[in-house]
Amino acid sequence: MISQSHVSLVMDELDPYYKQEKPLEEMPDFTEFRLSMERKGINYMMLVNILKYLKSKGAYELEIDKLGNFKINEFDI
């Protein structure tokens, strides 16, 4: 189960890039990002679902696009 605290952890990781405190070009690739999240207790499937959720809400779109394709499709509904 994904909790709001899990979503907040991912948002906290994306926030410096969204707020332009760090350049988007310095954002880690998906593998590095995933490993960072795993160290915080968010496994691969949770991360993918959180990224899809955030993307569907229009949040962190540029940052999520930099990580990969996380659009909701018919299999997610």
Per-residue pLDDT 10s for the chain (77 aa) are 889 999 999 999 999 999 999 999 999 999 999 999 999 999 999 999 999 999 999 999 999 999 998 876 656 55
What is the amino acid identity at position 46?
A: M
Question: Domain residues of the chain, as ranges?
Answer: 4-70
Backbone torsion region of residue 60, taken as left when φ is above 0, otherwise alpha when ψ lies between -120 and 50, otherwise beta:
left
pTM of the model as a whole: 0.88
Q: Minimal CA–CA distance to 14: which of 61, 56, 60?
A: 60
Q: What is the 3-state secondary structure (H, E, C) of 44-60?
A: HHHHHHHHHHHHHCCCC
Q: How far apart are CA 38 and CA 51, in angstroms?
A: 14
Q: What is the pLDDT of residue 75?
A: 62
